[in-house]
């Protein structure tokens, strides 16, 4: 979620987060909430105040409206669960956006009526996604084919806090582990889950409690990258260690996704308050 706050130069424990490299602006767009990259290299960007899903050409540095998601007033989390087919959050609805048809089309998968504030989305497998409810402090698992859903994860580390009741924000899943941030608790967490049900099979673990985190993505090097929103940076995290290292300065960074073309697989595309930015990850 986009909150542009004053930049703080160091972590609360004194660990330096001075950036190692800069970021370049790909396109200027207002209040980018989340990003995903298609197999053809085009970047998709959402905005919580618009039903438009934007398509960005990172080579030409241009943006167009790919489609407007009918029924939604704003869009947030997005993820590709089948080749060129994406799930995207629009309010309390989860929508299917299909780029295999021309023109692309959107359809409502399901409205989660009891949801409070849906924000982050992670692909769990080819038929289901995990949806983070920042207001409820819980994670829904939703079957994209049937629309069936249920809360599978809920913990104090996901609970909302602050002036805006907002808790769990970014969420991603890989190899039996769910990774997630709690934006106003300035914390980052993980939990081992059952690979079939997505229910917790281990303890909810906290990696830090002193750095704001928004959405996150996995890099091709196996590391995790987290947009820090009001900390105005993109940080790199080795999953085995858990310590963040800043690799770029981006004001109001909200989300990230890596390139999929031959020449940009080491480039993190970062959504932010003023558009989409590119940060090249050095080996």
Provide the residue ranges of all domains of the chain, joining segments of one domain with +. 24-280
Q: Indicate whether 15 pLDDT > 70.
A: no
**Residues 208, 189 contacting (CB under 8 angstroms):** no
Angstrom distance (rounded) from CA 49 to CA 145: 27
Q: Per-residue confidence at 4, pLDDT binned at 50, 70, 90?
A: very low
Q: How far apart, in Å, are the Cα atoms of 178 and each of 39, 108, 238?
A: 24, 25, 15
Two structure tokens written together for 260: 């999929």
Mean pLDDT of 22-30: 93
Instruction: Show Cβ contacts of residue 78 under 8 Å, excluding neighbours closer than 6 positions.
Output: 34, 35, 36, 44, 46, 53, 86, 87, 88, 89, 97, 121
Mean pLDDT of 140-145: 98
**Residues 124, 141 contacting (CB under 8 angstroms):** yes
Given this model, what pLDDT does residue 149 score? 98
Q: Is there a cis peptide before residue 133, judged by omega within 30 degrees of 0?
A: no
Two structure tokens written together for 98: 């299909």
For the domain made up of 24-280, the CATH class stated in words is mainly beta
The DSSP symbol for 21 reads S
Given this model, what pLDDT does residue 248 score? 92
Q: Indicate whether 18 pLDDT > 50.
A: no
94: left (phi over 0), alpha (psi -120 to 50) or beta: beta
Given this model, what pLDDT does residue 7 score? 31
Secondary-structure percent of the chain, ordered helix, strand, coil, rounded to 5: 0, 50, 45
pTM of the complete model: 0.93
Mean pLDDT of 193-220: 97
Angstrom distance (rounded) from CA 108 to CA 91: 11
- Burial of 156 per CB tally in 10 Å (0-12, 13-18, 19+): exposed
Mean pLDDT of 244-256: 96
- 3-state SS, 149-214, equals EEEEEECHHHCCECCCCECEEEEEEECCEEEEEEHHHCEEEEEEECCCCCCECCCCEEEECCCCCC
Given this model, what pLDDT does residue 10 score? 32
Q: In the predicted model, what is the mean pLDDT of the chain?
A: 92
Q: Per-residue confidence at 100, pLDDT binned at 50, 70, 90?
A: very high
Q: Indicate whether 96 pLDDT > 90.
A: yes
Across 14-23, 48-57, 132-141, 168-177, least confident range = 14-23
Mean pLDDT of 238-256: 95
pLDDT tens, 44-77?
Answer: 999 999 999 999 999 999 999 999 999 999 999 9
Cα dihedral 42, 50, 78, 254 sign = positive
Q: Per-residue confidence at 164, pLDDT binned at 50, 70, 90?
A: confident
Q: Indicate whether 11 pLDDT > 80.
A: no
């Amino acid at each position: 979620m986009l909150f542009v706050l004053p930049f703080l130069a160091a972590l609360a424990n004194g660990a330096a987060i001075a950036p190692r490299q800069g970021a370049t602006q790909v396109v200027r767009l207002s209040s980018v909430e989340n990003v995903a990259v298609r197999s053809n290299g085009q970047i998709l960007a959402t905005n919580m105040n618009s039903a438009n899903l934007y398509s960005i050409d990172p080579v030409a540095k241009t943006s167009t409206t790919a489609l407007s998601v009918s029924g939604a007033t704003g869009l947030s989390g997005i993820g590709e669960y089948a080749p060129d087919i994406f799930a995207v959050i629009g309010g309390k609805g989860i929508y299917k956006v299909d780029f295999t048809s021309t023109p692309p089309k959107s359809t409502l998968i399901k409205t989660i009526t009891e949801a409070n504030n849906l924000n982050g989305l992670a692909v769990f497998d080819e038929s289901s996604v995990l949806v983070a409810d920042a207001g409820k402090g819980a994670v829904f698992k939703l079957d994209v084919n049937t629309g069936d859903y249920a809360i599978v994860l809920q913990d104090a580390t996901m609970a909302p806090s602050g002036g805006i009741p907002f808790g769990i924000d970014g969420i991603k899943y890989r190899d039996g582990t769910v990774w997630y941030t709690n934006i106003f608790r300035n914390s980052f967490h993980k939990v081992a889950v059952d690979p079939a049900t997505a229910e917790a099979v281990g303890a909810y673990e906290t990696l830090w409690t002193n750095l704001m985190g928004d959405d996150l993505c996995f890099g091709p090097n196996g590391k995790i990258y987290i947009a820090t929103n009001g900390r105005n940076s993109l940080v790199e995290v080795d999953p085995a260690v858990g310590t963040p290292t800043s690799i770029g300065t981006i004001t109001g960074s909200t989300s990230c996704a890596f390139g999929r073309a031959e020449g940009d697989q080491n480039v993190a595309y970062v959504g932010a308050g003023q558009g989409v930015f590119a940060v090249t990850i050095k080996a």
